[in-house]
């Protein structure tokens, strides 16, 4: 039974979970709705059937279930917990920050916490202020946590396997708009994408564009269009937010002399802001232009269709910002506007969740 070479992001996660659970009895998976008819957007299909009691639905108790994950991890398991929205996990900050992130350090390195926490970031169809938060910078701010944000199906699988193998707590962020995305994914159970290695997606000499997760897709459209117009942008997909692969990033900016850092989170304290700060202080003499970041505003996401129309930025704004940096002039890229409704990732999505 050969599977197609190309599968969706959700299927890639599913394959990664199956292989991780088959490889080690220590891996358990739990989360609200993990074995329900929707199977966490298809990512947990057939896990319950195959692995029985190692896969279970849980009470609405995010904080306790996180602490239970920490306890299970120090007790010899490798739990993978999932939440259908990142926002639901905010009830668990005590266990994440005070227990999971600190355990290894504060007990003198006696025991690590191999816990993977999958969080899904919502967007569109009125997800609104409490179903669409991009808090990667928050998690990255906590020493002891690793933060992963895949953008392609292959990375989703490879990074998930690496996260489960990793002996630290890993916050694994999946953007809801990526689950349906198709891509080639190695089928081998040995396939891994190492943590803390970003990927140079497109090579270029004029400007370095740093993206992650869903924004990488938007950036890719911008970079291809810029290339047609003679601007050679280098696109870096961070893949792991923390610990960040600084050498690759700094090498690129040294070469291009320009940085445009993208972030799906709010501006203040963003990952992009941290990257701009480091580049500005470490590479000041290499820079040909002031480094820029393009982020979400310091405003919660509104719910109404009309209010979200211009709320998000994407390929047109990324292309315009890069163009201005390189060419020093304003230019708009209306041809990069997405077609159809702005609040859905594609035709397949008809709400409500």
Partner 1 sequence: MAEGSDTEKIMRALYLIRGVEEGIAQRYPAGKMRCPVHFSIGQEGVSAALAPLMRRDDLAVSSHRAHAHYMGKGGSVRAMLAEIYGRAGGCSGARGGSMHLIDESVGFKGSTAIVGNTIPIGVGLGLALQQKGSDSLAIVFLGDGAIEEGVFYESVNFAAVQRLPVLFICENNLYSVYSPLGPRQPAGRSIYKMVEAMGIKSVAGDGNDVAATYKLMHAVIAEMRSGQGPVFAEFSTYRWLEHCGPADDDHLGYRAQGECAEWKKRAPVARYEKYLRENEGWSAARLEALRNEVLADIARDFAWVEAQPLPPRPDAYREVYAEDAGKSVGQNTMESAA
Catalytic residue list: 62, 131
CA distance 150 to 219: 14
- Using CB under 6 A as the binding rule, whether residue 35 contacts ligand TPP is answered as no
Return left, alpha or beta for 109; rule: phi > 0 is left, psi -120 to 50 is alpha, else beta: left
Pick the closer one to ligand TPP by CB: 86 or 253.
Answer: 86
Sketch the per residue contact string, 99 through 138, with partner 1: x for CB under 8 A, - otherwise.
Answer: --------------------------xxxxxxx-------
- Using CB under 8 A as the binding rule, whether residue 309 contacts partner 1 is answered as yes
Tokens of 123: 């967007």
Shortest separation between residue 33's beta carbon and partner 1, angstroms: 6
Residue 29's φ and ψ, nearest 5 degrees, are: -130, 130
Q: Which of residues 86-125 bind ligand TPP (CB under 6 A)?
A: 88, 91
- Using CB under 6 A as the binding rule, whether residue 58 contacts ligand TPP is answered as no
Q: Which of residues 243-272 bind partner 1 (CB under 8 A)?
A: 267
List 10, 32, 119, 326, residue binding ligand TPP (CB under 6 A):
32
Strands (E), the chain: 6-8, 27-31, 55-56, 78-83, 116-121, 146-148, 170-175, 182-184, 199-202, 207-211, 233-237, 240-242, 259-266, 292-296
Give the gyration radius of the chain's Cα atoms. 20
HSE value, Cβ hemisphere, 13 Å, CA-based, for 109 = 0
Sketch the per residue contact string, 177 through 216, with partner 1: x for CB under 8 A, - otherwise.
Answer: ----------------------------------------
Return the range that interacts with partner 1 (CB under 8 A); candidates 100-108, 170-178, 183-191, 296-304.
296-304
In this structure, the number of other CB atoms found within 10 A of the CB of residue 337 comes to 11
Shortest separation between residue 31's beta carbon and ligand TPP, angstroms: 10
């Amino acid at each position: 039974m050969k599977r197609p070479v190309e599968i969706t992001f959700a299927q890639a996660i599913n394959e990664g979970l199956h292989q991780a659970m088959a490889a080690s009895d220590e891996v358990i998976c739990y989360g609200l709705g993990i074995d329900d008819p929707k199977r966490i957007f298809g990512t947990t299909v057939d896990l319950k059937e195959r692995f029985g009691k190692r896969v279970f639905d849980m009470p609405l108790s995010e904080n306790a279930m996180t602490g239970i994950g920490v306890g299970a991890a120090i007790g010899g398991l490798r739990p993978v917990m999932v939440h259908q929205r990142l926002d639901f996990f905010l009830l668990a900050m005590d266990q994440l920050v005070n227990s999971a992130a600190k355990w290894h350090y504060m007990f003198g390195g006696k025991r690590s916490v191999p816990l993977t926490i999958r969080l899904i970031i919502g967007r569109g169809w009125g997800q609104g202020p409490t179903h669409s938060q991009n808090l990667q910078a928050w998690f990255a701010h906590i020493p002891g946590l690793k933060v992963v944000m895949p953008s392609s199906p292959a990375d989703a699988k490879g990074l998930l396997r690496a996260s489960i193998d990793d002996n630290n707590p890993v916050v694994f962020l999946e953007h809801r708009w990526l689950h349906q995305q198709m891509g080639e994914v190695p089928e081998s159970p040995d396939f891994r994408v190492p943590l803390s290695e970003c990927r140079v997606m497109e090579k270029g000499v004029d400007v370095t564009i740093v993206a992650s997760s869903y924004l990488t897709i938007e950036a890719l459209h911008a970079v291809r269009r810029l290339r047609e117009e003679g601007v050679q942008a280098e696109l870096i997909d961070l893949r792991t937010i923390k610990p960040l692969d600084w050498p690759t990033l700094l090498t690129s900016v040294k070469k291009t002399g320009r940085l445009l850092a993208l972030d799906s989170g709010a501006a203040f304290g963003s990952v992009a802001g941290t990257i701009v700060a480091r580049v500005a202080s470490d590479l000041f003499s290499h820079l040909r232009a002031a480094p820029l970041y393009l982020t979400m505003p310091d405003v919660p996401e509104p719910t109404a269709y009309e209010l979200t129309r211009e709320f998000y930025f994407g390929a047109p704004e990324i292309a315009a910002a890069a163009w201005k940096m390189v060419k020093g002039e304003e230019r708009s890229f209306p041809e990069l506007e997405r077609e159809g409704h702005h609040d859905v990732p594609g035709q397949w999505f008809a709400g409500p969740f």
